[in-house]
Amino acid sequence: MNQASNNNNPEKPSFFNSPQFRSIAAQALLLAAMGVFFYFIIQNMLANMEARGITTGFAFLHEKAGFGILQTLIPYSEDSTYGRTFIVGLLNTLLVSGLGIVFASILGFIIGVARLSKNWLVSHIAGVYIETFRNIPLLLQIFFWYFAVIRPLPSPRQSLSIGDWIFLNVRGLYLPRPELESGFGWMLAALAIAIVAVLLLRRWAIRRHYETGKTFPLLLTSIVILVGLPLLAYLASGGTIAWDRPVLKGFNFQGGITVIPELLALLIALTIYTAAFIAETVRAGILSVSRGQTEAALALGLTQTQTLNMVIIPQALRVIIPPLTSQYLNLVKNSSLATAIGYPDLVSVFMGTTLNQTGQAVEIISMTMGVYLTISLLISAFMNWYNHKMALVER
Amino acid sequence: MATSEQMIPDRAPPITQIGPIAWLRENLFSGPLNTLLTIAAFYFLYLVIPPVFEWMFLDANWQGTTRNDCTRDGACWVFIIQRFEQFMYGFYPEDLRWRPNLAGILLVLLIIPLFLKRVPYKGWLALFILLVYPVIAYFLLHGGAGIEEVDTSKWGGLMLTLVLSIFGIVAALPIGILLALGRRSSMPIIRAVSTVYIELWRGAPLITILFMSSVMLPLFLPEGMDIDKLARAMVGIALFQSAYVAEAVRGGLQAIPKGQYEAASAMGLTYWQSMRLVILPQALKLSIPGMVNTFIELFKDTSLVLIIGLFDLLSIIQQANADPNWLGFDTEGYIFAALVYWIFCFGMSRYSLALERKLDTGHRN
């Protein structure tokens, strides 16, 4: 009896072998090792910086930068500070990322749907597109567009043009700019009102659908409102929109919007490269909705359009959105390749030029990496929120 | 009587139901919209393919030694042929190029058995590749200990691209596995450290990491100690890649059912025993496709070392494009580079797909 009960209750492990002690010891050891490591590199860093005569701290942000920047979204001159350089670079990064996300999404969705087309030729062209551009480094594609396509373009006098409106030459792409002073302002206001109206209408339609089961032709009405209101405003304001068109004066174009060649090359390459990944994401999302769902929806008497809108797209989006946001994040990070062709993004003007001039490596590199980390944390916070919202409610 | 018992021979199916015509009707002309799409697609192909084909092959220049030999309108492949050796090896001394060749052949010979069925001691072979081969490769490529030294500043071309990406995966594998285990550990500090490490390197673009390792790394080292450009890039790549490998391995770990962990500890295995004998063999197998994908990304991303002044494949082609003797042949250079990268990446992605299908045996959940 005694022996048997002994066997069932083995001795407690000694204190040093207990899981609690071991886990605390392992963690303490890790902390100590990290402490020693960081102490070692910080000591070395301080000694090295003193030897090279670099002062630490962020005071350099208030110093005069003394260099010009090719494209600035806010007023900037050589007299501006390094702090302003940082902002200019950041805005340029956000500009190319924002535009890239819009264009890559549009192209990616088209290619993704084309890949699933029943038309053999269309789906295979889309397949070749995806497999080609996905497997070639982005930097190579940027170089190709910049050095092999845009650089050999003609000079401003022999520009390629569409009418008197759009010009393309080695100095960049010139687009007409609508002037806000005239009727265009009214149109914008009308568009804003239309967007709000459509959102309210959508809420109302969804609620009515839940309560009464009656459907409302939301898409059609939305389009009518979105197109109609601005059009009405345009006519009411006397139909005058003034366009500031680019005009050749001397050796270059004046007026309008100028897209510098660096931005153009970067944008084309980012769009084409990311679209290939987005297309795969879209395809996988649509394929993830099983055929049974379509068949069941049709069997219930839903029309093709209703099946698509109410059954397939909501379920596909659940699968598409998380990888899609990580593609957007990749695009933002990839926009830092701008530095290779001299587009003045954050990495190029701040980590490149400013770092060379001031030598404040630690501060500048942490600030730059901090920006990208913040963007990526914001995007993953959004993704977690979205996943939480869209997660299947299981009973 | 006898005739009535004879079967009437089967009639061939209508031509609209089988054969190429049916295929065309089904896949290209099944409705007005589809027909329109097909015509548009054909027109697109007609616009693109003939001129490209003409430029690349029919009108191309293949023979000669200088740009003056490129007299025809098409591509000037003479440029690529003349520079081919440089694109492959960079400025590696010509009489020593057998050394990188030998290192490459050795690697291929070592890796092939891993893919064959029924080869014994695969685990030891993999360990040999991970631990011993890098040392052999270092002495073959760099020299030292009696072998003639070749400074890393002379390494370049495809060879450097391969060195960087293979080094990246070999260095990142052990760190990545530890990080993945750390991120799923029950100890809060270890979990926090692993998570911060992974998210930090995954959140920043590789360029900023390469900048960091090339500018800040020398500051972190004791005075008087210096490391060359290639080693700095390698440190950056290892930091970056280990975070991505960790996430791939974590994916594999998450796919292992909880029962496996519980069974392992019920058997009385310690944490490391259960990881080594039960969990990791299954999890690593599941994470191979993910790791191949991160390897493809790394292979493409090694082209960024151009920005910190190393001469990898893209960088050396970019430099050749700027050669005054060969100005104006950028397109040929880029197409050649694209082709090389494409062959490697496409091959690996097909392999990863095939592997995924093979491993998807349906016991995941």
CATH of residue B220: 1.10.3720.10
The count of domains in chain B is 1
Kindly state whether B306 is in contact with chain A, defined as any CB-CB distance less than 8 angstroms. Answer: yes
Local confidence band at A395 (pLDDT 50, 70, 90 cut-offs)? very low
Residue A86 within a domain: yes
Percent of all residues in chain B with a pLDDT value above 70, rounded to a whole number:
97
- Find the residue in A nearest to B344 (Cα): A135
Nearest to B306 among A27, A120, A340 (CB): A340
Q: What is the mean pLDDT of residues B11-33?
A: 79
Q: What is the pLDDT of residue B364?
A: 44
Instruction: Give me the mean pLDDT over the A3-19 stretch.
Output: 62
Domain CATH code at residue A342: 1.10.3720.10
- The confidence band for A13, taking pLDDT boundaries of 50, 70 and 90, is low
In this structure, the answer to whether residues A172 and A191 fall within a common structural domain is no
Domain count, chain A: 3
A339 CB neighbours in chain B (<8 A) are: 207, 307
Question: Ramachandran region of residue B224, left (φ > 0), alpha (ψ -120 to 50) or beta?
Answer: left
In this model, does residue B359 exceed pLDDT 80? no
In tens, the pLDDT along B243-299 reads 999 999 998 888 888 888 899 989 988 888 998 888 888 888 888 888 888 999 999
Task: Give the pLDDT confidence of A96-155 residue by residue, as tens digits.
Answer: 999 999 999 999 999 998 998 888 888 999 999 999 999 999 999 999 999 988 888 888
Residue B308 covered by a domain: yes
N residues, chain B: 365
CB spacing of A44 vs B223 below 8 angstroms: yes
Quickly state the pLDDT bin for A296 (edges 50, 70, 90). Answer: very high
A234 and A252 co-located in one domain: no
A64 domain residue, yes or no: no
Q: Report if residue B288 sits inside a domain.
A: yes
Other CB atoms within 10 Å distance of the CB of residue A233? 20
- For residue A58, pLDDT over 50 is answered with yes
Q: Does a structural domain hold residue B266?
A: yes
Of B215, B304, B330, the CB nearest to A365: B215
Q: What pLDDT, on a 0 to 100 scale, did the predictor assign at position B342?
A: 94
Q: Which residues are bridge partners to B76 per DSSP?
A: B61
**A27 C-beta neighbours (distance < 10 Å), count:** 18
B38/A121 touch (CB, cutoff 8 Å), yes or no: yes
The model's confidence at residue A219, banded by pLDDT at 50, 70 and 90, is confident
Chain-chain contact of B314 with A34 (C-beta, under 8 angstroms): no
Statement: residue B363 has pLDDT above 60: no
Interface of B with A in 325-364 (CB under 8 A): 330-331, 334, 337-338, 341-342, 345-346, 349
Per the structure, the complete domain to which residue B323 belongs is given by 155-359
Contact B342 A334 (CB under 8 A): no
Q: Which residues does chain B have within 8 Å of residue A117's beta carbon, measured at their own beta carbons?
A: 37
pLDDT of residue A3: 47
Same domain, A328 and A251: yes
What is the value of ipTM here, to two decimals? Answer: 0.88
CA gap A270, A87 in Å, rounded:
22
Are residues A224 and A275 both part of a single domain?
A: no
Give a three-class secondary structure readout of chain A.
CHHHHHHHCCCCCCHHHCHHHHHHHHHHHHHHHHHHHHHHHHHHHHHHHHHHCCCCCCHHHHCECCCCCCCCCCCCCCCCEHHHHHHHHHHHHHHHHHHHHHHHHHHHHHHHHHHCCCCHHHHHHHHHHHHHHHCCCHHHHHHHHHHHHHCCCCCHHHCEEECCCEEEECCEEEECEECHHHHHHHHHHHHHHHHHHHHHHHHHHHHHHHHHCCCCCHHHHHHHHHHHHHHHHHHHCCCCCCEECCEEECCEEECCEEECHHHHHHHHHHHHHHHHHHHHHHHHHHHHCCHHHHHHHHHCCCCHHHHHHHHHHHHHHHHHHHHHHHHHHHHHHHHHHHHHCCCCCHHHHHHHHHHHHHCCHHHHHHHHHHHHHHHHHHHHHHHHHHHHHHCCCCC
**Is residue B29 less than 8 Å (CB to CB) from chain A?**
no
Residue A255 shares a structural domain with residue A109: yes
**Is residue A73 assigned to a domain?**
no
User: Is the domain of A266 the same as that of A337?
Assistant: yes
Quick check: A138 and B300 CB within 8 A? yes
Q: CA Rg, chain B, in Å?
A: 28
Residue of B nearest to A364 (CA): B212
Categorize the per-residue pLDDT at A33 as very low, low, confident or very high, splitting at 50, 70 and 90: very high
Does one domain contain both A253 and A339? yes
B144 CA: distance to closest CA in chain A (Å): 29
Cβ atoms of B345 and A135 within 8 Å: the answer is yes
CA-based nearest distance A362→chain B, Å: 7
Please, what sign has the CA dihedral across residues A147, A149, A155, A156? negative
Residue A60 lies in a domain: no
* B46 Cβ neighbours under 8 A, 6+ residues apart: none
Q: Provide mean pLDDT across the span A70-99.
A: 87
Please answer yes or no on whether A365 and B307 come within 8 Å at the CB atom.
no
Please give the residue range of the domain that contains residue A36.
2-52
- In this predicted structure, the answer to whether residue A8 has a pLDDT above a threshold of 60 is no
Instruction: Give the confidence band of A240 by pLDDT, cuts at 50, 70, 90.
Output: low
Q: What's the CA gap between A18 and B274, in Å, rounded?
A: 18
pLDDT category at B114 given cuts 50, 70, 90 is: confident
Q: Do A131 and B346 touch (CB under 8 A)?
A: yes
Please tell me whether residues A227 and A371 are part of one structural domain.
Answer: no
Q: Which of residues 167-226 of B touch A (CB under 8 A)?
A: 186-190, 193, 199-200, 202-209, 211-212, 215-216, 218-223
| pLDDT at residue A321 tops 60 | yes
- Rounded CA-CA distance A286/B190 in Å is 39
- Which pLDDT score, from 0 to 100, does residue A182 have? 60
